[in-house]
Amino acid sequence: MGHNLAINPNTNEYSFFSRKEKAWHGLGQIVEDYPTSAEALRFAGLDYTVEKRPLFTRGLENELAELDTVFATPHIAVPRYYATVRNDNHAVLGVVGKDYEVVQNVDAFTFFDSIVGGEGIQYETAGALGQGERIFITAKLPGYIRVGREDCIEKYLFLTTSHDGYGSITAAFTPVRVVCNNTLNAAMRDHTNAVKIRHTNGAKERLAEAHKLMGIAHRLSDELSGIFNQWAKVHISDQEVKHLIEVAMVPNRETLDHLLKGHTDELSAVYTNMVDKVYEYALSAPSQQQETTKGTLFGAYNAVTGYFQNVRNYKDGEAKLKSIMDGTALQRAQTAFNLCTDFAKELSMNHIIIN
């Protein structure tokens, strides 16, 4: 599996740093202590700036000039469009419109620092992908979500932004289960776990969104603590675990119809193999995980998210990042979360009716 990490032209090193663990295939700088935002920026090779530069094209006379050795006519400016260019090595990162506002790498760290005045945020990883057109940062918040006695979930904020004109600045609250490094991405049905900021917004709007994200993190931490602890006490059969996984992993309506009608011979081999791997992950939890996961509703949810984090193969690190934070893995995690929520609610209602 590739990594697609950018090379920092100033140091000829990969644009990535990680605290202690050799994440991302052991590339980049490994640091012992939590760095400041300024140190993290430097360690990750993100200490470059980006600017918008005018775009030009050549006229017919210009092309003929290359054949004839006559002087070329001036290049023609392309109206309303610009190239985003790294100032350190002049690499072209993308093409953007006139209203596009470059958000410098340092501003992405400032976004996090502004949440808590620079205190309490612990930068874990940061890096750049491609030629530096996409950057990402993960930072840990103080405290844990504790499930049962010893199952701890660390509270992370994740931010990604780009310099190529694609996508917004996205920052999200992403709990990570410590024992298996499993990102438990989920949002309640009535509110999100992320904020998205357009590149046309200014610093004032970004600051407001930073504080909004912190509010989301506090609220979700409390809510997820209650939900996960409840799910860890809901014991379900292996058959029920398998069924939850089957529905959560459904890729389209046709597959769901076959599943609900019991037409197992119509299910694709790709789908059934994937379900089997998720189910195997659910049953193979090591001893330190079993108290809260084995045979529980929490375990069924953890199996779906854990498959995408720890089992599935990806083309490269960028593909994995996109899938988990804003793609298929996130969609399946949300579906699993909703299914488990409905299952627990139905169980609770049946208990009330029986009693």
Distance between CA 288 and CA 272 in Å, rounded?
Answer: 28
Helix ranges restricted to H, 123-252:
203-232, 238-248
pTM: 0.82
Calculate mean pLDDT across residues 175-184. Answer: 86
Tell me phi and psi for residue 287, to 5 degrees: -60, -35
Share of the chain above pLDDT 90, in %: 39
Helix ranges restricted to H, the chain:
23-26, 37-43, 60-68, 105-115, 203-232, 238-248, 253-260, 269-283, 287-293, 297-306, 317-326, 328-354
Are residues 323 and 250 both part of a single domain? yes
Q: Give pLDDT, residue 117.
A: 56
Are residues 222 and 319 both part of a single domain? no
Q: Number of structural domains, the chain?
A: 3
Of 228, 251, 283, the position where a domain reaches its end is 228
**Coil, helix or strand for 93?**
strand
**Coil, helix or strand for 142?**
strand
Residue 58: Cβ within 10 Å count: 15
Q: Give pLDDT, residue 288.
A: 46
Question: What is the span of the domain harbouring residue 258?
Answer: 234-354
Are residues 128 and 27 both part of a single domain? yes
Are residues 195 and 180 both part of a single domain? yes
In this structure, what token pair is assigned to residue 294? 């084995």
Residue 328: inside a domain: yes
Are residues 259 and 192 both part of a single domain? no
pLDDT in tens, 311-334: 999 988 778 888 888 889 999 999
Distance between CA 101 and CA 216 in Å, rounded?
Answer: 26
Q: Give pLDDT, residue 133.
A: 92
Calculate mean pLDDT across residues 39-49. Answer: 92
